[in-house]
Structure 1
Amino acid sequence: MTNISTYLTFNGNCEVAFNFYKSVFGGDFTHIGKFKDMPEDPKYPVSESNKEKIMHVSYPIGNTMLMGSDTGGEWSTNFKQGNNFSISVNTDNMDEADKLFNKLSEGGKVIMPMNKTFWDSYFGMLTDQFGIQWMVSFNANNRNK
């Protein structure tokens, strides 16, 4: 089954925002990780000023998942409050992820091609022909959850 979630991007205040949402809706995060927790990669160094920012947070609200992260480095130049969200699509298999990614990117712009990630997901990002940002992923470890 394919699931769709909202993914919010913040300019350094993701943790504050998600703690606020948690105070409103209750419950707890299923995951929260900071940029300092990422494996080091010389191609994508994390500055000291970004290490404490949120790399990813997952927060279930009812039957949906609200996700988010802070922006930083080269990504921060594209941040614009009000357009700081993406639609996240999680699929049951890699073929479905590729199919949806390819169709959504027709006439749009691929930001990050589908590829394996350090967080053990098959993942890609794009902006469709209408300017909507999408994240497409398949994670075999979450398939049966």
Structure 2
Amino acid sequence: MKVDPYLIFNGRCEEAIQFYVDALGARLEVLMHFSDAPPEAQGGCAQTPEGVMHASFRIGDSVVMATDGAPGEPKPFGSFALTLTVVDELEAVRCFDALTDGGQVTMPLAPTFFAHQFGMVTDRFGVAWNVIFPKAM
């Protein structure tokens, strides 16, 4: 069994995926728009045919799934963070700096008692990230 995050971007899904491709080297695996579904399966989503019904992309070995969401109330992010574990300090700095573009630093990237580098940022889409280059345990 495994758990994969499914992020809802409220109409900014393709923009968010492109940001993660540029910032983190994400690799897009699946991208389906609401218009790709047969008419009988579109339901209330037909009003946003250009919207992303489902996407799947990889960041390193991890799968992240995403959507623009169904019509209705936007669903804000909250009470979770994605953790990006990197293999060296240069990668920590590169990823952290990329995620801060248009985002907000919650905790600057710095050495801590548990990591060579650790920092927290909320990106321009409202997704909270922890970037860590851990110490050997």
TM-score (normalizing by structure 1): 0.49
Residue in 2 aligned with 1:66?
Answer: 64
1:3 is matched by which residue type in structure 2?
A: K
1:40 aligns with 2:39: yes
1:82 aligns with 2:77: yes
Residue in 2 aligned with 1:57?
Answer: 55
Q: What is the count of residue pairs matched by the alignment?
A: 80
Shift of 1:27: 4.1
Q: Which ranges in structure 1 are unaligned for 5 or more consecutive residues? A: 86-145
CA distance in 2, matches of 1:59, 1:36: 20
Task: Trace 1:1-145 onto structure 2 (pairs within 5 A).
Answer: 2-41=1-40, 44-48=43-47, 50-73=48-71, 76-77=72-73, 79-83=74-78
Q: Which ranges in structure 2 are unaligned for 5 or more consecutive residues? A: 81-137
Identity %: 30
Change (3 A) 1:43 1:59: closer
TM-score (normalizing by structure 2): 0.51
Where 2:40 maps in the other structure, the secondary structure is coil
Where 1:30 maps in the other structure, the secondary structure is strand
Q: Tell me, yes or no, if the aligned pair for 1:54 and 1:70 is still in contact at 8 Å.
A: yes
2:55 is matched by which residue type in structure 1?
A: V
Change (3 A) 1:36 1:26: same
Higher relative contact order (CA 8 A, sep 6+): 1
